[in-house]
Structure formats: structure tokens, C-alpha cells
Amino acid sequence: MQRFSRRKFVATIGAATVAPASALYPAQAAAPQQMAPPVSPAESAKPVYLFFNLAEAAFIDSACERLIPADESGPGALGAGVPNYLDKQLGGAWGSGERLYRSGPWKAGSPSQGYQLPFTPAELFHVALRAINRHFETQGAAFGTLSAEGQDTYLKTLEAGGADLDGVPSAVFFDMLLRMTVEGFFSDPVYGGNRDMVAWRMIGFPGAYADYYEAIDRHGEKFVREPMSIGEDARRHLHVDPNIPASL
């Protein structure tokens, strides 16, 4: 995991939106666990986590913020509500593996064969996070209390692989965490991340306008427009998808 500014990060992955994992089918609510108040830069913007427990949320908040840190161009993953996006996706139909093949055999495959583990995404996160937090309990310090460099070092060990998180390869967990962090940062805010469309404003993406009729004859001009979510009404009020647990 390389350290780079968010501008370089955006240039690396491309200025493109990322569809959420559950975009093609509705999410379902999961049974509530111990509520976990996240560490947020804005007290009033704290979500209510229904999937992550206290210890899990503490790690996710800190880890996501290291993957996309705040910088001079604006908020990072935490300020954009990315952990809230993860909570929604993992607590819904996608997290429960609604459309995953679940009958095995569970053998290591080649990269081209894709995901080969018996865990649903929700199970994978719970198992891996439990192993990670147990590791830090033995160290006597939580992940979030480490310096930025210390957090980066630990995340790099997960990314490098080789570590077993109670049956979850650390590289698989890190890859899913990174992918979902990017999704949550750039996806439509109706799914719980990209709060105030900060990522879209940063890359100049206009969002989900129904038509561009007034701009058809403006050839050769840069299209500049306030971004719009698919969940906004005529008064520009955002309505989060009610089928996704948790709230902005």
C-alpha cells in the first residue's frame, strides 16, 4: 500500500464513479448488534452503525481514513461517510451473500477464478476484524491509537498477505476493504457514502441528471454543474434508500 496524496490517488484509479456492490439488487436489514458510535470529525454527522460493533467500527473508521486521508483538497474517507457505506452494504443483501454461489468446494483458486472462500462478505469482515482486534488486544494498544505511520505499516502487512485472520487470508480482506472504501467514496450518496458529494465535487462529476437538454448546443464547452444524486427530489433534498440499514 503506497502512501500518496488523494489527488494522486484519484489520478491512479481514474475520475470515474464506482457502482456499489448492492446496486443491482435491494439490500435487506441485518439483525442489530451492539451500536457503535464512530469517531467522526463532525459530531452531528455521526451515523448509527447496525452491522459493525464498537471494536469493529473503531478499526474501520481509522483504516478507511488511512486509505483515503483528508488533505488540502477536502475530507477523506471518514469525512465522506465511507464507513457508513460499508455498514450498509455489509448489513444488507450483498453482505449476506444473496447472490453468491455457496455450495463449494472451497479450494484455493487462481486469480482469474475470483473469490473462492466459504464466507459471505459479512462473515468475512466479522471474522477478520475479530482476529485483527484480538491481535491488538495482545499488543495492549488499539489500531486507532497508533501513529499514521504505524497504521500504514500494519495495513501494508495485511496487503502483503501471508497472515491468516482465522481462516481469512489477510490480502483478501485488505483487497475487499480497499475496494469498498473506494466505492463508498465515489458512489452515489444515496448508498451512504460520498457525504455532500465531496468526491464528485473534487473530480468535477455532475452526478445523475435526468437530461442535459439545455447543454446540447454548447459544443466545446466544459460542462460545469452542481452534482446531483439519484436520491434527490425536486427541491434537492437527499432521500437515502430506505432498503439499506443505517442512516446518513
Q: What is the pLDDT of residue 28?
A: 36
CA 214/CA 163 separation, integer angstroms = 55
Length of the chain: 248
3-state SS of 202-223 is HHCCCECCCCCHHHCCCCCCCC
234: amino acid identity, one letter = A
Residue 184 has pLDDT above 90, yes or no: yes
Residue 44 has pLDDT above 50, yes or no: no
Q: Yes or no: say if 61 and 85 are a contact pair by the CB < 8 Å rule.
A: no
Instruction: Report the mean per-residue pLDDT for the chain.
Output: 81
Q: What is the pLDDT of residue 8?
A: 58
Considering the entire predicted model, what is its pTM? 0.78
Cell numbers linked to 92: 444488507
Helix (H) or strand (E) holding 7: helix 6-13
Residue 151 lies in a domain: yes
Q: What is the pLDDT of residue 83?
A: 96
Residue 10 lies in a domain: yes
Residue 7 has pLDDT above 90, yes or no: no
Q: What is the pLDDT of residue 10?
A: 54
Residue 43 lies in a domain: yes
DSSP string for residues in 11-57: HHH-S-----TTTTS---PPPP-S-B----SSGGG---BSSS-HHHH
Query: What average pLDDT does this structure show over 20-31?
Result: 41
CA 119/CA 102 separation, integer angstroms = 8
Q: Which of 231, 226, 225 has the alpha carbon at shortest distance from 248?
A: 231
Residue 225 lies in a domain: no
Domain with 63, as residue range(s), is 6-215
To 10 degrees, what angle do helices 82-90 and 54-67 make?
Answer: 130
Residue 221 lies in a domain: no
**Which range scores top for mean pLDDT: 2-16, 75-89, 228-242?**
75-89
Please report which confidence band the pLDDT of residue 30 belongs to, taking 50, 70 and 90 as the band edges: very low
Residue 1 lies in a domain: no
Residue 160 lies in a domain: yes
Residue 231 lies in a domain: no
How many structural domains does the chain have?
Answer: 1
Q: Bigger pLDDT: 201 or 213?
A: 201
